[in-house]
Amino acid sequence: MKRLATVFTLVLAFFAGSASALGPTETIQNATSGLISELSQLKREERNQDQIQRLVESYILPAIDQEKIAKLALGKHWRKASKKQQQAFIKAFRDLQIRTYTGAFKSFDGQQFKFDDARFNKKGNRAIVKGEMLQPSGQAIPIDFKMFINKQKQWKIYDAVIAGLCIVKTYRQQLTAQLQKSTLDEIIDGMNADQQTAQLYSLLIIIFNRFNNKS
């Protein structure tokens, strides 16, 4: 479980990227080399919470469009939420990512990535970057990153498809199910209380069960 969580988190690490004019594939490659380089310099047994959180905040968060991801994850419920609830959900989701990524990055053990050239839509403002995450064992996990260019002309990742499973869609399905039993405020409180960190890990199990069934 812990090893699978690490793989999933490393894939999601491509929500990382520098705030630059790089193209979509270059943005991902740039984030990859920086992330792997710094992680490799930290011995696994010597990694502490502060070191890993610094990497998370340096490489992951800057390239995430927090509002876009939160909006997509909530789906139709985003429009029903008040402005105060929307902002609270964005913050809670961001903090949840920090906690989840920080914990999983401690188990990084040499994964590598390779990517194809980006495929753009007709307007050129959206792109898909297909790639693979290579395990030390040689196993390759297919990953697609959905990107868009924001008003600052920066390419941002807003979703990922791992082994055929859409991350945002799956998370939206889980939130929709929760909202049938709980209010949005209760869900936000649960995220702030670290009760929903397991949600990201449950996505991992679904993804890898699907991947293993295809192998």
SS (H, E, C) the chain: CHHHHHHHHHHHHHHCCCCCCCCHHHHHHHHHHHHHHHHHHCCHHHCCHHHHHHHHHHHHHHHECHHHHHHHHHCHHHHHCCHHHHHHHHHHHHHHHHHHHHHHHCCCCCCEEEECCCEECCCCCEEEEEEEEECCCCCEEEEEEEEEECCCCCEEEEEEEECCEEHHHHHHHHHHHHHCCCCHHHHHHHHHCCCCHHHHHHHHHHHHHHHHHHC
CATH number at residue 198: 3.10.450.710
pLDDT at 193: 74
Residue 212 placed within a domain: no
Give pTM, 2 decimals: 0.78
Q: What is the tally of structural domains in the chain?
A: 1
Q: Are 132 and 183 in contact (CB under 8 A)?
A: no
pLDDT at 76: 93
Residue 155 placed within a domain: yes
pLDDT at 204: 52
Residue 36 placed within a domain: yes
Residue 213 placed within a domain: no
Residue 171 placed within a domain: yes
pLDDT tens sequence for the chain (215 residues): 555 555 555 555 554 444 447 899 988 887 777 777 888 888 777 788 888 888 878 887 777 788 898 999 999 999 999 999 999 999 988 887 787 777 767 777 777 888 999 999 999 999 999 999 888 888 888 989 999 999 999 999 899 888 888 888 888 988 999 999 999 999 998 887 765 555 554 555 455 455 555 55
pLDDT at 17: 41
Residue 7 placed within a domain: yes
Range of the domain at 74: 2-207
Residue 215 placed within a domain: no
